[in-house]
């Protein structure tokens, strides 16, 4: 469906194209009024697991099904660059993190498989996706994986990168925030309930990433996309106070600071200039998010970009963590430069 949408718009003034590698991306960026697509998939359930039918299948039958479907995907004209192993629900591959709050979680039950680790089928999918012997490598996006599953995946990638320092596999969390915990274990010491994050500055649930994870992603030469979901950026009371602000200019500044607090938490965890190389912009506007009120759509992203630069310049906010970058350089890295550097290195 997405492939077939390529071409000129009805008025002939703009165009949509898909690209398969960094070289094609570079060429596409030279065109005017062009929307460029890089295929990704959010959730391993698309491979055909996570249903009642899968519950009844043997392990061998599931493995064969997964192998066949991954082979098919890798033969596409535009195979995915990145794929999430997990999403909101159990998919027989890996446990997922709790993602829904009230009132949604009163209606939708996420309990099956929640917080579990990676299954045998999941490890098969990971190896098949990352393999370059069956087609192009498809990188794994860790967003939505449970903390337990992420720990297992980090260990796997860490071993690979230790043995293959010249051919690292990067860890990606495409749309997330910081939870402020020092370690993964401390982030799951308490269950993900409202009380855990009611009076906190950052959103403390384990779906967000800890300082330990920031270092793991940094060391893998990976990428962290900061999302603009106010419900994931801040604690319950902190976000409530911001949304009560009726002066829109003040509210913009408050949301700007909250976004930056997440960014600085991760950069501080790494503690050196290269920490800025892993931060990107991962809006999640295509998801069911509660956007920051002054920035409801992509149309307002230039405004957010300007607000972030202005806030850093006027407040000299957390200047000790700038590591000699200017505010514009910092925000340019977040909004596009780090992503482009990542594509240049890994989108081959």
Q: Write down the pLDDT at residue 227.
A: 97
Residue 33: pLDDT over 90 = yes
Q: What is the pLDDT of residue 9?
A: 95
The token duo for 317 is: 């906010």
- The stretch 206-210 carries a mean pLDDT of 98
**What does the pLDDT look like over 82-125, one tens digit per residue?**
999 999 999 999 999 999 998 888 899 999 999 999 999 999 99
* CA–CA distance, 279 with 243 (Å, rounded to integer): 26
Does 288 score more than 90 pLDDT? no
**With contact defined as beta carbons under 8 Å apart, do 188 and 163 qualify?**
no
Mean per-residue pLDDT, 13-28: 98
Q: How far apart are the first and last CA of the chain?
A: 23
Check pLDDT > 90 for residue 324. Answer: yes
| Predicted pLDDT of residue 297 | 94
Query: Among 129, 149, 143, which Cα is nearest to 172's?
Result: 143
Summarize the confidence of residues 181-200 as an average pLDDT.
Answer: 97
Given a cut of 90, whether residue 278 has pLDDT beyond it is yes
Among residues 232, 233, 255, the alpha carbon closest in space to that of 245 is found at 255
Q: What is the pLDDT of residues 224-246, one digit of tens each?
A: 999 999 999 999 999 999 999 99
* Tokens 């801040």 sit on residue: 234
Residue 129 DSSP label: H
CA Rg value for the chain:
20
pLDDT of residue 201: 98
Question: Which H/E stretch holds residue 223?
Answer: strand 223-226
């Amino acid at each position: 469906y997405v492939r077939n949408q390529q071409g000129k718009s009805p008025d002939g003034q703009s165009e949509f194209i898909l690209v398969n590698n960094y070289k094609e991306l570079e060429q596409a960026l030279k065109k005017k009024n062009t929307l460029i697509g890089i295929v990704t998939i959010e959730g391993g359930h698309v491979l055909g697991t996570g249903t009642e039918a899968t519950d009844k299948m043997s392990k061998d039958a599931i493995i064969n099904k997964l192998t066949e479907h991954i082979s098919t995907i890798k033969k596409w004209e535009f195979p995915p660059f990145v794929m999430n192993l997990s999403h909101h629900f159990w998919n027989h591959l890996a446990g997922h993190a709790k993602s829904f709050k009230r009132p949604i979680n009163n209606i939708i039950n996420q309990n099956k498989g929640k917080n579990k680790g990676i299954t045998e089928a999941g490890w098969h999918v990971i190896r098949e996706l990352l393999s370059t012997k069956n087609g192009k490598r498809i990188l794994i996006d860790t967003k939505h994986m449970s903390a337990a599953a992420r720990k297992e995946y980090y260990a796997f990638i860490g071993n690979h990168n230790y043995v293959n320092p010249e051919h690292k596999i990067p860890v990606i969390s495409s749309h997330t925030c910081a939870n402020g915990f020092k370690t993964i274990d401390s982030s799951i010491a308490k269950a993900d309930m409202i009380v855990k994050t009611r009076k906190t500055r950052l959103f403390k649930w384990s779906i967000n990433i800890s300082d330990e994870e920031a270092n793991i992603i940094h060391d893998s030469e990976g990428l962290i996309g900061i999302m603009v979901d106010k419900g994931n950026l801040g604690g319950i009371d902190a976000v409530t106070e911001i949304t009560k602000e009726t002066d829109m200019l003040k509210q913009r500044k408050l949301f700007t600071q909250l976004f930056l607090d997440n960014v600085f938490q991760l950069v501080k965890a790494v503690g050196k200039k290269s920490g800025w190389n892993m931060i990107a912009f991962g809006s999640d506007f295509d998801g069911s998010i509660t956007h920051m009120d002054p920035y409801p759509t992509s149309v307002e992203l230039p405004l957010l970009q300007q607000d972030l630069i202005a806030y850093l310049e006027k407040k000299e906010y957390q200047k000790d963590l700038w590591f000699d970058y200017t505010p514009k350089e910092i925000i340019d890295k977040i909004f596009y430069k780090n992503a482009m550097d990542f594509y240049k290195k890994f989108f081959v």
